[in-house]
Amino acid sequence: MASKILLTCSCLILSLCFGGARAQGLSWSYYDVSCPSFEPIVRAQLKKVFKNDIGQAAGLLRLHFHDCFVRGCDGSVLLDGSASGPGEQSAPPNLSLRAEAFKIINDLRRRVHNKCGRVVSCADILAIAARDAVFLSGGPDYSIPLGRRDSLNFATVNEILENLLPPTSYTSALLVSMDRKGFTATDLVALSGGHTIGIAHCPSFARRLYPRDPTMDKTFAKNLNATCPTTNSTNTTVLDLRSPNTFDNKYYVDLMNHQGLLFSDQDLYTDKRTRDIVTAFAVNQTLFFDKFVKSMIKMSLLGVLTGSQGEVRANCSARNANAVLVSSVGEAEEKRSGF
């Protein structure tokens, strides 16, 4: 496993404005006083989870992505629907999110709250779980600023569709979408490296098989034909052909060999604006890890709620009955922690 990447707080990064909300209010030592055992509890439990099923690492990482790229890293994707409308989980891009990932986050919330009280937000738990999913599957270890609050509502289907582009998207569309959030081409390619672990369902790439996409390796396509005999097959296959359960740079090697599963992935190597970045990451895993960490931290600051905004949920899948009371408790903890 990669050695821990030590990161210091960058005033420049924390002053950036993403999605209309500034990242002020976060701290690298936010829970040092109020819940010092928060991160050790999460890591210890996830070690047990992944020992039993390493596939859950990809599920948690993807859940964090789908949370952050819509309204920001506010835990809104964790909310169940209510009388006010359907939750984000029912939107088309989120239908394939692993049900077990939601259960894991709520279980982690229970363990952390049993130890520290209702201090740590579900948004922070998800962010740390995603970080540990990367590290415990072979990727880099790193610190992220904490202090996010949980949202009081969820995004509409239209918002989700606008921000979570389908796997059939061209790099051009992805670059435009990412640029709106303050991300560069390097960020796009680095974050796409999250596909070095996990699986995809046949409908997400079957159109590349019938007829065969000319950018796809023939032998690779033939093998996929056996997995997905029809365009509506419900089967799944791994995203990274070479090391599907290890977080490494082999995903980029796949792309260079025209063995990227999703069109949106393979097009990163086809497009001249991102091709050299793919190549650089394929030949230098250390470089990929460094850029991935920076992009992940940048993503974790998207649209965060802090201070008196939002709440700290008692149940990650439901809003609190009394948000004002929880806000008061949270603010007291922030003052107690010296922030």
- Compute the distance between CA of residue 65 and CA of residue 196 in angstroms, rounded to an integer: 14
According to the annotation, is 67 in a ligand binding site? yes
pLDDT value for 40:
98
pLDDT value for 322:
73
Q: Are residues 207 and 245 in the same domain?
A: yes
Strand partners, 22: 17
10-19, 70-79, 316-325: least confidently modelled range? 10-19
What band does 8 get if pLDDT is binned at 50, 70 and 90?
very low
286 domain-assigned: yes
Who contacts 317 (Cβ-Cβ below 8 Å, separation ≥6)? 78, 79, 80, 102, 106
Structure pTM?
0.89
182 or 334, greater pLDDT: 182
- Mean pLDDT over 71-91 rounds to 90
Residue type, 114: N
Classify residue 39 as left (phi > 0), alpha (psi -120 to 50) or beta.
alpha
* pLDDT of residue 2 exceeding 50: no
Domain residues for the domain of 258 are 182-293
- Mean pLDDT over 132-145 rounds to 98
Q: Are residues 287 and 317 in the same domain?
A: no
Domain count, the chain: 2
pLDDT value for 337:
31
Q: Any idea what the CATH number is for the domain that residue 189 is in?
A: 1.10.420.10
Instruction: Summarize pLDDT for 283-332 with one digit per residue, the tens.
Output: 999 999 999 999 999 999 999 999 999 999 999 999 998 754 333 333 33
According to the annotation, is 271 in a ligand binding site? no
134 domain-assigned: yes
According to the annotation, is 196 in a ligand binding site? yes
- Compute the distance between CA of residue 27 and CA of residue 23 in angstroms, rounded to an integer: 10
Q: Are residues 57 and 125 in the same domain?
A: yes
- Compute the distance between CA of residue 174 and CA of residue 191 in angstroms, rounded to an integer: 12
Residue corresponding to tokens 């390097």: 186
Q: Are residues 155 and 123 in the same domain?
A: yes
- Mean pLDDT over 97-105 rounds to 98
Residue 252 parent element (H or E): helix 250-256
Say which of 64, 66, 201, 258 is annotated catalytic. Answer: 66
Task: Could you list the beta-strand ranges (E) of 216-306.
Answer: 236-238
pLDDT value for 10:
42
- Mean pLDDT over 217-227 rounds to 97
* pLDDT of residue 244 exceeding 90: yes
Q: Are residues 210 and 306 in the same domain?
A: no
Q: Are residues 156 and 212 in the same domain?
A: no
6 domain-assigned: no
- Compute the distance between CA of residue 84 and CA of residue 87 in angstroms, rounded to an integer: 9
**Annotation says 66 is catalytic:** yes
2 domain-assigned: no
Q: What's phi and psi for 246, nearest 5 deg?
A: -120, 130
238 domain-assigned: yes
Q: Are residues 326 and 222 in the same domain?
A: no
Q: Are residues 27 and 154 in the same domain?
A: yes
Dihedral (C-alpha) 81, 304, 54, 266: value to the nearest 10 degrees? 100
According to the annotation, is 76 in a ligand binding site? yes
157 or 23, greater pLDDT: 157
According to the annotation, is 248 in a ligand binding site? yes
pLDDT value for 189:
98
* pLDDT of residue 220 exceeding 80: yes
pLDDT value for 82:
74
What band does 23 get if pLDDT is binned at 50, 70 and 90?
low
126 domain-assigned: yes
According to the annotation, is 300 in a ligand binding site? no
